[in-house]
Amino acid sequence: MSLLSFFGCLFLAYGPILSIFILFIAPTAQYVLLTVASAFFCLIALLLSSVIWYASRTNYYISILYSIIIQELCRYCFYLLQRRAEHGLNSISANPMFPFNKHIFSFVFGYGYALTSALVGYISLLVESIGPGVLMCVSCPQTTLYFISAITTSLFSLLHIGWMMISFEGYSELPKPRGYCKILWVILSHYGASFAVRYHD
């Protein structure tokens, strides 16, 4: 695989979230700190999933089942932490009385999840793409797996941001039925996207 293809896959996979960081996250120190906090919770979820997989050596489909449950539980725990700190977050924000602060915070939290999952999920495959061999995608033999995975990584990054925003809004609306519907939609779409990725591989 050529160096041009390597950088193409690199910017395809991380270009959108890198743009979000440069244009929106980086100018505000508070958003950077919230991103790091969210990334920490995502790392905890990934670590727990890895420990369970290493101990049980389950197949890919079973590991999807429990890893998404763990990720969503960590997302809920992070929401509870955010609720406790919401007053302080608003007081030190640029616009303390801005009614959409909670949506901005959930966007930033989702970005932390997106960045961590993208780095953990794709960086090793991207490094392997520098080698002399080329790994073709099984479901699309004309395209390399590196290119397909770069597209998948980019889309999953945006999905994680959306899932975080919708789930936080759903948790804040509990116990109303629409709150449960939003949470259920996040979980089901997370499962659907994850199984779809496994299918194309």
Predicted local distance difference test score (pLDDT) of residue 81 = 84
Instruction: Split the chain (201 residues) into runs of 10 and give each run's mean pLDDT.
Output: 76 89 88 88 88 79 86 88 76 62 84 89 79 67 79 90 91 87 92 76 51
The domain of 21 spans 1-197
Q: Give CA–CA dist 39/134, Å, rounded.
A: 32
136: number of Cβ within 10 Å? 14
> Could you tell me if 82 and 168 are in contact, meaning their C-beta atoms sit under 8 angstroms apart?
yes
Q: How many residues does the chain have?
A: 201
What's the whole-model pTM score?
0.84
Predicted local distance difference test score (pLDDT) of residue 98 = 57
Predicted local distance difference test score (pLDDT) of residue 181 = 92
Residue type at 200 in one-letter notation: H
Predicted local distance difference test score (pLDDT) of residue 122 = 84
Predicted local distance difference test score (pLDDT) of residue 137 = 65
Predicted local distance difference test score (pLDDT) of residue 55 = 81
> Could you tell me if 201 and 138 are in contact, meaning their C-beta atoms sit under 8 angstroms apart?
yes
Query: Which residues, 6+ apart, have CB-to-CB distance to 165 below 8 Å?
Result: 103, 106, 107, 110
Domain count, the chain: 1
